[in-house]
Amino acid sequence: MPYLDIVQRLESSYSDSPPSSYTLDSLLDSSTFVSTCLVEGFFNPYTHDLILSFTSGSTYRYSDVPDSVWASLLSALSHGRFFVYNIRNNYVFSRML
């Protein structure tokens, strides 16, 4: 899912807005992955939402993810393995359409 689509979908889904001096786009940290499982990820440190796009074409939002989990995902030797053991089934998630 393209970056701007994700930003627009996130902006429309939040009931609480970030501080007025920031835009959601400026709050998102993003990364692309070299992985057979993950394509790209976005993390919002204000809301602790983690957005992950998969090689299958699906995109999911994981809620209440600590900053340390995002940092560990970025530094993992295997991003897919880290996802399976540390994110999947550990956080509330929803599929983004």
pTM, rounded to two decimals: 0.76
Dump pLDDT digits (tens) for 9-33: 665 655 555 555 444 455 678 899 9
Residues 6+ apart with CB under 8 A from 5: none
Confidence (pLDDT) at 21:
46
Confidence (pLDDT) at 22:
47
User: Which H or E run contains 44?
Assistant: strand 38-44
Dump pLDDT digits (tens) for 48-68: 999 999 999 999 999 999 999
